[in-house]
Structure 1
Amino acid sequence: MNNSQNQCGLHRVVIVGGGTAGWLAAGVFGAKLSTKHSVTLVESPTVSSIGVGEGSWPSLRDTLLDIGISESEFLTLCQGAFKQGSSFVNWRKNAHSYYHPFTVPAAYNELDIHACWKALAPNTPYQDAFSLQAAMCVAGKAPKQIATPDYAHVLNYGYHFDATKLADLLKQHCVDKLNVDYVSGHIGSIKSSSDGYIEKLITECGKEIVGDLFIDCSGSSGLLIDKHFNVPWIPVKRTMLNDRAVALQVPYSDTDTEIKSTTVATAQTCGWTWDIALQHRRGVGLVYCSQFTNEEQAKQVLIDYVRERYPSAHDAELSFRTLSF
């Protein structure tokens, strides 16, 4: 953004990259800006959404409400389910688990909750001393009733969802309802002004996309941040050892399978597994450190996890996805 853009305002927003991140950004801008503004999203036709991170914080409810998507539509089209928090299994020792519920303790900002717990109920698990939510999760109960309005809650919650289907829903909503311009194509070149700010993108087919504000949602490709501005990656290896993940989508063998309303995070001999239940399948994966575990070992740990918990899953139905971060 240059000086003239500062003076004239931002009228043309250009988002590079689709997926959940890109289309959420397009939805937020499309819903908030007036008709005097334009929002354009350019997306490669050959780069698919990662589709692995399938859980959200409760804040996604506010975002979906703000951009005008109904909760029932979202849950239906994205195979969604409620997420009331996370359950951590075997992190302290085997056969030990605890819940991190999304509903905060009453008066948490007025009292020393930890001191009250130690004084009044030291032998009661923290999760049970101050919240009903863990017990509701164990009992298989939802955080709201069928008559509760969209996005309202009795207990706080986020979602589990199919990330690819969410990106598709957001794309359709943004284009049809919010007048977001969609460009399918590869970025061939980037043109900058004399002061170094981006002025326009040019696709490989020669289409020019002019903008005042450019947002990079191209993920690890970093088309603007990395390849154009040469902003270096900030290494976090010293504090975040886990740098790889392998993931699987596990179909249900029984349509009446219980859908847990927590993300189940289980400590393993190398890293930890996530386990997310959707309406039509599970999303499971292992996060690990490549310094100590190779990819084949990681895949075996994940397969063993699936076989132990879901013996009806057939290996032929399982296809690995790998990620680096």
Structure 2
Amino acid sequence: MTDPHLHTLLSLTAADALGAATEFKTPEAIRARYGETFTDYQPGSVFGFAPGEGTDDSQMTVATLLGYARGEGLEGVRLALRAWLGAGPPDVGSLTRAALSHGTPDGGARAWTASGFESAGNGGLMRVAAVWIAGFTGGALARESAVVTALTHADPRCVHASVFLTAFLQALSAEATYRVGAEVALAAMDTFDARDALLDTGIFGLGTREAHAAFRERDRGARAGVRARVRSGLDGHVTSQGGFVLDTLEAAVAHARAHTTWPACVEPAVLGGDDSDTVACVVGAIAGARGLPIPEHLLPPLRLGHGWPGWEQAWACTEHFPAVVAGARRG
């Protein structure tokens, strides 16, 4: 039987690679170019990714796993993400670049401060499945999800969305029903003190007191926002497929909620355009944790669209992902 963690990594990468062709396009433009269905990798990526290549979403997920393999905890993850950034990937989110460019664990808090405490993009949510894939569970999973997200995205909406998502993956992997799994994950988010975790790891400290105060002030409202969007997604509502973290979370929960096949979950995200690669990536993580089979034809051509220390762009994901997952779990 396939390792559920490896299956989830392949699933999110394949979904991300499908969405690469439709990113930043409108649904109307997508249907005019590709038709009413989207079942195979296609050209057309605005960042030049070839058909079958995963974007920054799956690249950063793999980079996070390579970071765990270093055996240095959170610092290893931060250094691995910086190595990815330093190799000049075709696509990098602005807040991710700003945070990692600081070169310190509190870079995410500093970048959030510089944004006027307004930036709450999906750049943490897109890669946080790596924490569950690396083998964290329970309270350790919540803690690690919070701090790994806050390395680049310290807004409480980003942090709590990530804590929810990884708890959701854990519940679904344990064969919880979809709605029950979501409620279990929301309860895990609500009972976890994310602010304390960020203090313990130095993401909040003397140099980021303003960010700490802003997080504390907005913490309750951020949790309420995640709860509202998850429950809206459970009812099938999609506000947007834009880059705002709660839009991405809601859309992913909605797309994956009622379907029993992998394509039925992922295709609506791909056809929805806008930030379709990220929405599809999160949907792929959810579908993978549910154990839904990935269409066989999507696996042989699957690659990552960038190379950096520890990963070669030409490597086949099916051949090299097993060692990535095993290394992360050993680390």
For Structure 1 versus Structure 2, the TM-score category normalised by the shorter chain is: under 0.3
Higher strand share: 1
- TM-score scaled to structure 2, two decimals? 0.26
More helix per residue:
2
Q: Normalized against structure 1, the TM-score is what? A: 0.27
